Amino acid sequence: MRRYVNLIRNAQNWWLHFFHKWHLTATEPIHYRLRNNVSVEVPVRLLHEFKEVLMDECYAPPSPMKLTRDSIIINIGAKAGFFTLFAAARYPGARIYSFEPVPVNFKQLKRNVDSNANHNIRIFQQAVFSHTGDLRLTWDPTDSFTTSATIVDLPEDHLETFNVPCLSLEDLFESHGIQHCDFLKMDCEGAEHPILLECPGDTLRKISRAAIEVHAGPEPTHTLQALAEHLFSQGLDTTIKGNILHASRRSGLD
């Protein structure tokens, strides 16, 4: 029931969900209208990911968050842009920086953002990682969209690797003149471990809240619990909901 409440709260034309669920329409893609004049194009192939963001609100912080026009949201692993547009609808006026390195995903991200030019969204076709330079990703090139391009080398024959430009979290803040991040969302298929574990403490202290989808990494220390402990050591209280790690800066700590 809560999922449907979220759907009605977030989408003006929420009934489209039921039209597709009950096979009353075969429209492709689906065009949802969110609150605050935000539109989003959803390929049917990506309906599951869209519902995770809009109906499950998987990245929404556990407690209410008030953001202003000076607030900054960073989206690492933006995919097709569903969280980017959810954030634009939920927090109108906030500045949103979205990073997505995979070309097929970035193309859809750009389509969605171009349809919402009145919102303060900036997009970048690059990855975020532990260093600035190049990064090798593994993915399935036959997929029209991918939610699983990863830094991990996988043995499947049909997968391919490709290089993408990347920058560290520290350089991301510096290059865009970001002094404070009100909310950081990450869904980067295992790269969250090197990004955060190797990030200088001075940069991590600029983050107030975060929602991180955690994947098992190649190293023994690349676990959800280890990442939670690391963020706690950097002044962030953490809670775990499924594979999402929520973090918020402890009161009195910069």
CATH classification at residue 237? 3.40.50.150
Structural domains counted in the chain: 1
pLDDT value, residue 217: 78
Longest dimension (CA), the chain: 53
CB-based burial of residue 133 (10 Å sphere; 0-12 exposed, 13-18 middle, 19+ buried)? exposed
Confidence band of 210 (pLDDT split at 50, 70, 90): very high
| Residue 234 belongs to domain spanning | 59-249
Let me know if residue 237 belongs to a domain. Answer: yes
**Contact indicator for 30, 44 with CB cutoff of 8 Å:** yes
Amino acid at 61: P
pLDDT value, residue 251: 75
Let me know if residue 254 belongs to a domain. Answer: no
In sequence order, the β-bridge partners of residue 207 are 181
Residues 28-43, mean pLDDT to the nearest whole number: 96
Q: Taking all residues of the chain, what is their mean pLDDT, rounded to a whole number?
A: 92
**Running DSSP on this structure, what letter comes out for residue 91?**
S
**Contact indicator for 44, 66 with CB cutoff of 8 Å:** no
pLDDT value, residue 147: 65
* pLDDT tens digits along 106-122: 999 999 999 999 999 99
Let me know if residue 46 belongs to a domain. Answer: no
Amino acid at 94: A
